[in-house]
Structure 1
Amino acid sequence: MTVRAFRVYGTVQGVGFRPFVYRTADALGLDGWVANVDGHVEGEVAGDPRAIDEFAARLGTGAPPLARVRRVDLTGARAGARGRGFAVRHSASGRAGATNREIPPDAAVCDACLRELYEPADRRYRYPFINCTDCGPRATIIEDLPYDRARTTMRRFPLCPDCAAEYANPGDRRFHAEPVACPVCGPRPAWDDLRGEEALRAAVRTVTGGGIVALKGLGGYQLVCDATDGGAVAALRSRKHRPSKPFAVMVRDLETASGLARIGRMERAVLTSPARPVVLLAARRRHPVASQVAHGVPRLGLFLPTTGLHHLLLDEVARPLVVTSGNLSDEPIAVEDAEAFGALARVADGFLTHDRPVRARYDDSVIRIAGRQRITVRRARGLAPAPMPLAVQDPLAGVGAQLKHTFTLAADGRAHLGPHTGDLADVATYEAFRRSYDDLKRLTGIEPGALAHDLHPGYLSTQWARQQPLRRIAVQHHHAHVAAVAAEHGVTGPFLGVAYDGLGLGDDGTLWGGEILLADLGGYRRVGRFATAPLPGGDAAVRHPARTALGHLLDAEALGTPRPSPGLVRRFTENLDPAEAAAVRALVARRVNCPRASSAGRLFDTVAALLGLAVSVSYEGEAAVRLEAAAKTAHAVPLAHRIVRSDGLWVYDSTATVAGLLERRGDGEPVPDLAAAFHLTLARVTADLVARAVEEGAPRTVCLGGGCFVNGRLLTEVRRRLRSQGLRVLAGGEVPVGDGGISYGQAAVAAARLARER
């Protein structure tokens, strides 16, 4: 017999990999052992050399659904005697300083567990915390590695004899399933003094009676109400201080989802994936969901149940449910029970909780499909912190931006994009970021030697980075956007970057947001941009698009196009508060507190305001969402636009577009037609800017980045036009396209710059 050692690297802990190794070895008649060691799996295998080769091949190709095998190493070869079969050994710590250990994301309850959940004869019948090696909590309960029950929050629940027998049985689906539990030994639902089924019934009574329930989910608390009850949804909006941002809706199954929205093949696959993200879908014209859920936006964010508790609640209520983050607007979701009882006491009418602690904070992931392009809006539960490839050697971190904040830890060819934190606007979100960063750093074993941060000195992430005793690498905001796209697709050479977003600090000290960059991962040169316009009142203009619009009408960058006539401007201001309009005029005339920005996002705001779709907004991007929603015309007539040369750059003179918009609206053209015309115009502008850069020698690979490309209509039309020019067009898929992907782009840029220094 031949004896060989093996090691398997990747996401191989917490995914049923050791049981899979056991079954594979047993089927091939091999002896040996397997164990979790740090973040990988290792062991020895003994038998016929050909069987050992087959064993190694199967480890790489036949792994369990949640596993991701990166490498299988077979080392050594010595003679040995027949052993006593194959065994799963206790986990052990390996070499000191092990780095880049991979943490498995949580996975929704699998079909096999669902069958048991609804089988009256099964001992886990209607048990909300049912799970096995193929599903259940992972990242949200892990306290340390190697991954064993003793290093998760399930250590508080000793296994009963029946569960212990399943855990030890190689032929059982729960063989070494660390979160395994049952009604005898596992967590239990609670509602005040009620437990188990009585607690669930209390929650059902509250929801069906029009109330709001705070439910303890996988990654923290969620707020739940009847999605068909307009009064309940309105109450949730009022109490949560979330006046207009759409809510996500959880439904029982695909059949129910199909009755509410149109679902394509790709959307179906994402909806039913183990991650169970929220998927943004085109709503059907008639559906029972209350209008207050999405406030006139013709899309619904739908997702399927993630836990047994969600399934049981949906079954009993028998209606779609609003399931949204358990927090007040702009705060991190509540994780600990005491935190939830304090923060949500004035929001929820009752608490459906349980006694399994949540170790890590994970909000729900959000995905959109535009044509055949997957757009990750938010990477969180079910997706994070699974690693993604990145050309990086030395350990480093990207600390992100300010809005939709994430951070990234990277080393040894892989990057771990941390969970969505929210907007770093106050102490609570800042502390949530610091805790999440420290936790993931400890679990992965990555100790960064350098920190990449945004140029903006006012971002809390930048301020935190500057306080750390590490090398700091400043990365321009829009370079990070397009570098994230390039790095995700493995582009290492030069490319042309199109970065459209709200605002980011440029290297010249001004605000950017509509940029064409000639770039590689290490650096960039600005070759095109949008015209600048003032933001009267600074941040106030972001919250009040009417201010941005008036600033654009009165003082857009002079590039040769006459500004709209006073009559057209007056027609717009007649609908504004006279005092505010006068104040804005004064600010613009004196150029006081009117920072200028070359921003695509702010141009969306301007057009939305001019069309009467969004005078004021309650969340970043709302005006653009409403503008896309209004664009219902399939074949629009584009608006006027000009590309001019200014200071060595190609510049989009948006004054021509805005003037044409006002004129056509004055002539009575419908708002849906004009909204569609603006999208078409921006796609043509992008194609023109890119074509001019390519004519001057720019690469023919184009990377589209920035939050404006969450807009499916814009992304689809831009891709179509650029591809018609024979260009290779790339957009973010797994990495969030907006500011949630900034940290990954920062890490990519920092890695490239460090590599150049070697």
Structure 2
Amino acid sequence: MIEGWRIRVRGQVQGVGFRPFIWQLAREMGLRGRVLNDAEGVLIEAAGEGLLAFVAAIPQRAPPLARVDEMRHEAATLDLPEGFEIAASGAAGAETRVTPDAASCAACVEEIFRPGRRQGYAFTNCTHCGPRFTILRGLPYDRARTTMAEFPLCDACHAEYETPADRRFHAQPVACPDCGPRLWLEPGGGDAMAGAVAVLRAGGVLAIKGLGGFHLACDAGNAEAVTLLRARKHRPAKPFALMGGLPMIRAHCTVSEEEARLLNDPAAPIVLLRRAGAGLPEAVAPGQATLGWMLPYTPLHHLLIDAFGGPLVMTSGNLSGEPQVIGNAEAREKLGGFADAFLMHDREIARRLDDSVERAHPPMILRRARGRVPGTLPLPEGFGDAPQVVAYGGQMKAAICLVKNAQALLGHHLGALDEALSWEAFLQADADYAGLFEHRPALVACDLHPGYRATQHARTRGLPVVAVQHHHAHLASCLAENLWPLDGGPVAGIVLDGLGLGADGAIWGGEVLVGDYRDFVRHAWLSPTPLPGGDAANRDPWRNALARLDRAGMGAVADALLAERPLAPLRAAMRAGVNAPLSSSAGRLFDAFAAVTGFAGAQGFEGEAAMWLEALALRAPEGAGTYPITGVAGALDDTALWQAWHEDHCRGTAPEVMAWRFHAGLAEAFARAARAAVAAGEARAVALSGGCFQNALLQQMTRAALGDVPVMVHRVTPANDGGLALGQALVAAARVASA
């Protein structure tokens, strides 16, 4: 027995090369002892004169994928070996963090392109990269608990796996052509990669099995191929994601240093970049000012892009509205009508994950998925004793949040729950997260809307339920991300989105709320306006234009502008209050203004008109003016906005200038109301949340209009409904703490 230290490390420390790092560091500093994985993270038992320097070096020199959240040490009498060893894993458990999937590291990419036993091997990985969450079946993270368990290691791979000094030491997905997953093309034979490239060069559509599901790919420079993919997938306008090397991306978009860093992040998200340089077919992203690009993030992708020699469309392999396909048989059945060939492999995908979608200017996550989950977020001060909570989010962009051990795990994007298969994916994710992380909630949080499937599911759990108003959850999610303390005081939340059930039973969507985690008051809101046709108003922007113009006393203008539309029955319905509920929705105001500025027809996907309007505004000269919206508290009246627009319309003002003025007017009106709440001492800061703040121009204008008022925004959680569950969970925890 010897006197030493027992050191506990918590965080993202399993499956990232942490134990061999500790082994090498301890040997370097002349320590004796051991390191092992267990249910809480990594446990180190060590003795020697260099212990202080050793502990100080751990967070400073940790491996690239590691995240050290907490380190504690205590003196102990230990039975230690003479040297330093890596011991077998301890008991299974789920107190530690699971590592997200990580893009191929530079060493592995180099390896697949040079002579050697892994040259051209599509499943090359090491401790610093490769699949993690998408192959995980249970904790702790060992090969036997992943979908790699069915691939026994060959002697060469086993030697790497067992050698602490090797970068593949205990890399659970380690493999080579002799023992690992294999790749093939259907239909066809011979070299799978060469055959796949031939399909793409012929203008065909290729289904590719990746990390978290299948993609559908085609030649991004071939307008006929892109149009063919749109027709087959019944996706008329929603932008396609693109994949290519950085030089390819720079040929078509501007790429700043921050954007290049984000593209090269281990998460390898889709990054929205401004179009520039050589054009791609308009069908890639109709009417958009940005393109969504990602770098190759698996060896398969690197090999394919290199062999093809150009950028590819890389969109989710799914039927419209359904979750991404993950199984080979499922792909043959569901994607057979889309794809001319399938690039398959035999490594099972344990859970489906879409690609994350992000911006660098300003930093924001629009879709939190592959590469970001299941990363956790620390809870703010005051939530240290929060009970275990599960929150189920909303109906659209569904995501689940688990609270445990002063951490929040915001799950992956699940889609719209009105789709049957998305609902099945939601139920599977609920069971999956609970089992994987040994989560035993004491209460459940959900949206206030009783018709949401997630809300109905919450009430089947047999646990206390906290129903949270939609926009309060948006506010709380922004506060949580920014670590606003539980007792930090009230904040003015500018919450702009589509639709959410209000505390008064009306439909909200454009509010300034003053409150905290526990409660709120509604300080200001857009003047309520009918949604003619109910749900149809979400699809048809012209319906909202009719309602707004009529409300502004400009019925004759609507008659002229919308002469071919069935106005009379809609006006009768609005007068009678039949299928025309009042709403303060900022999203529907965007739709209305898009309709009068040139957006024609119905929306092919959620937010299309607003994205079109933002792209239009970005073509205007900066500082092109502002349309007025009147009011500081209570109802904010947009009548003057429509009158000013009509004057511009009559004098032939360019549509892009009108689009800019609309954005500026909305930003100024809500900033004015929030500033007033802060100036009156009712709030200490401002938070921006809701799906409308995915609009980078609107966010930038609002922040500028707020001046020197402290502002919180979303950066690592979605401002849209994908972040709702985080806010719901913290509202529930706060109310329990106050009870």
Place the TM-score, normalised by the shorter chain, in its bin: over 0.9
Q: What is the letter of the counterpart of residue 685 of structure 2?
A: T
Is 2:41 the partner of 1:40? Answer: yes
1:78 maps to which residue?
77
User: Contact 2:7–2:73 (CA<8 Å) still a contact in 1?
Assistant: yes
Determine if the alignment matches structure 1 residue 563 to structure 2 residue 561. Answer: no
Secondary structure in structure 2 of the residue aligned to 1:338:
helix
- In structure 2, the partner of 1:518 is 514
Aligned equivalents of 1:240 and 1:731: distance in 2? 35
> In the alignment, what sits opposite 1:639?
627
- 1:137 is paired with a residue whose SS is coil
Verify the 8 A CA contact 2:678 2:685 in the aligned structure 1.
Answer: no
Shift of 1:523: 1.0
Q: Which of 434, 438, 450 is 1:445 aligned to?
A: 438
AA of the residue aligned to 1:320: P
Read off the aligned partner of 1:92 and give its amino acid letter.
G
Counterpart residue identity of residue 229, structure 1 = N
Q: Aligned letter for 1:692?
A: A
SS at structure 1 position matched to 2:686: strand
Provide the C-alpha distance between the structure 2 equivalents of 1:324 and 1:16, rounded to a whole number of angstroms.
Answer: 32
Provide the alpha-carbon RMSD of the alignment: 1.5
Q: How far did 1:552 drift?
A: 1.8
Give identity over the alignment, percent.
44
Partner residue, 1:753: 735
Q: Map 1:219-298; keep pairs closer than 5 Å.
A: 219-252=212-245, 254-284=246-276, 286-298=277-289
Query: Are residues 1:598 and 2:584 paired?
Result: yes
Q: How many Å separate the matches in 2 of 1:112 and 1:552? A: 58
- Count of aligned pairs: 729
| Paired residues of 1:32 and 1:46 also in contact (CA < 8 A) | yes
Per the alignment, in what secondary structure is the counterpart of residue 703 of structure 1?
A: strand
Q: Over residues 95-147 of structure 1, what are the superposed CA-to-partner deviations in whole Å (9 max), with x where a residue is unaligned?
A: xxx55431110000000111111112x21101111100000000000111111
- Residues 101 and 445 in structure 1, CA contact (< 8 A), matched pair in contact too: no
Letter in 2 for 1:573: L
Q: Distance in 1 between matches of 2:95 and 2:710?
A: 32
For 2:138, what is the secondary structure of its paired residue?
A: coil
The answer to whether the Cα contact below 8 Å between 1:101 and 1:443 also exists between their aligned partners in 2 is no
Q: Judging changes above 3 Å, is the alpha-carbon distance between structure 1 residues 425 and 617 closer, same or farther for their aligned structure 2 residues?
A: same
Q: CA deviation at 1:367?
A: 0.5
For residues 738 and 429 of structure 1, the distance between their equivalents in structure 2, rounded to whole angstroms, comes to 18
1:288, CA displacement in angstroms? 4.2
Give the residue type in structure 2 aligned to 1:34. Answer: V
Contact 1:614 1:626 in 2 (8 A): no
Shift of 1:53: 2.1
Corresponding residue for residue 16 of structure 1:
17
Instruction: Map Cα deviations across residues 554-600 of structure 1 (whole Å, 9 max, x no partner).
Output: 2x3xxxxx522x432222112x33xx333323322332100110011
| 2:530 corresponds to | 534
Farther off after superposition, 690-699 or 420-429? 690-699
The answer to whether the Cα contact below 8 Å between 1:488 and 1:732 also exists between their aligned partners in 2 is yes
With normalisation by structure 2, the TM-score equals: 0.96
Structure 1 CA distance for aligned equivalents of residues 547 and 370 of structure 2: 40
Shift of the alpha carbon at 1:193?
Answer: 6.7
Q: What is the match of residue 353 of structure 1?
A: 344
Alignment of 1:708-723 (within 5 A): 708-722=692-706
Q: Match of 1:6, SS? A: strand
- Looking at structure 1, the residues matched to 94 and 298 of structure 2 have their Cα atoms a distance apart, in angstroms, of 31
Alignment of 1:277-676 (within 5 A): 277-284=269-276, 286-370=277-361, 373-391=362-380, 392=383, 393-492=386-485, 493=488, 494-554=490-550, 556=551, 563-564=553-554, 566-574=555-563, 576-577=564-565, 580-631=566-617, 632-633=619-620, 634-643=622-631, 649-676=633-660
Q: Name the residue aligned to 1:728.
A: 710
Cα shift readout 1:666-725 (whole Å, capped 9, x = no counterpart) = 221110110011011111111221133234322231000000001111100110110x2x
Q: 1:559 corresponds to which residue?
A: none
Aligned with 2:723: secondary structure? helix
Deviation at 1:2, TM superposition (A): 2.8
State how far apart, in whole Å, the 1-side matches of 2:248 and 2:405 are.
44
Structure 2 distance, partners of 1:545, 1:638, is: 22
Is residue 549–residue 557 contact of structure 2 (8 Å, CA) maintained in 1? Answer: no
Equivalent position of 2:130 in the other structure: 136
Q: Give the Cα separation in 2 of the matches to 1:691 and 1:147.
A: 49
> Is residue 182–residue 346 contact of structure 2 (8 Å, CA) maintained in 1?
yes
How far the C-alpha of 1:194 sits from its partner, in A, is 5.5
Contact 1:100 1:446 in 2 (8 A): no
Q: The residue matched to 1:262 in structure 2 has which SS?
A: coil
What displacement does 1:235 show? 1.4
Structure 1 CA distance, aligned partners of 2:94 and 2:528? 46
Deviation, 1:486, is: 0.8
Instruction: Report if aligned partners of 1:549, 1:606 keep a CA contact under 8 Å in 2.
Output: yes
How much has 1:614 moved relative to structure 2? 4.0
In structure 2, distance between residues paired with 1:241 and 1:20: 50
Show the counterpart of 1:88. 86
* Corresponding letter in the other structure for 1:272: N
After the TM superposition, which parts of structure 1 deviate over 6 Å for at least 4 consecutive aligned residues? none
**Does the aligned pair in 2 maintain the 1:568–1:663 contact within 8 Å?**
no
Shift of 1:413: 1.2
Deviation digits for residues 253-290 of structure 1 (CA, Å, limit 9, x no counterpart): x2221111111122111111000100001001x42421
**3-state DSSP of counterpart to 1:525:** strand
Cα offset, 1:175, TM superposition:
1.0
Segments of 5+ residues of structure 2 without an aligned counterpart are none
Unpaired segments ≥5 residues, structure 1? 557-561
Q: Deviations over 1:213-267 (max 9, x none)?
A: 1111101111111111111111111221211010110012x22211111111221
Task: Quote the Cα distance in structure 1 between the aligned partners of 2:343 and 2:569.
Answer: 49
CA contact (8 A) 1:100 1:414 kept: no
Structure 1 pair 136/221, CA: closer, same or farther in 2 (3 Å)?
same
* Letter aligned with residue 630 of structure 2: R
**2:62 aligned partner:** 63
Cα deviation, residue 84, structure 1: 2.9
| 3-state SS of 1:140 partner | helix
The 1-side partners of 2:205 and 2:637 are apart by 49
Note if contact 2:39-2:95 (Cα within 8 Å) is conserved in structure 1.
no
Task: Give the Cα–Cα distance (whole angstroms) in 1 for the partners of residues 51 and 672 of structure 2.
Answer: 58
| Contact 2:248/2:310, CA 8 A, preserved across alignment | no
Give yes or no for contact 1:289–1:320 (8 Å, CA) kept in 2: no
Partner of 2:663: 679
8 Å Cα contact 1:59/1:72 also seen in 2: no
State the partner residue of 2:207. 214
Distance in structure 2 (CA, Å) of the matches to 1:124 and 1:193: 25
> Closer, same or farther in 2 for the Cα pair 1:581/1:567, shift >3 Å?
closer
Letter in 2 for 1:637: G
Q: Distance in 2 between matches of 1:218 and 1:43?
A: 33
User: Would the aligned equivalents of 2:675 and 2:709 in 1 still touch at CA under 8 Å?
Assistant: no
Map of 1:739 onto structure 2: 721
AA matched with 1:6: I
1:375 aligned partner, one-letter code: M
Tell me what 2:52 maps to: 53
| 1:700 counterpart residue number | 684
Report the TM-score, using the length of structure 1 for normalisation: 0.94
Contact 2:153–2:175 (8 Å) recurs in 1: yes
Give the letter aligned to residue 430 of structure 1: W
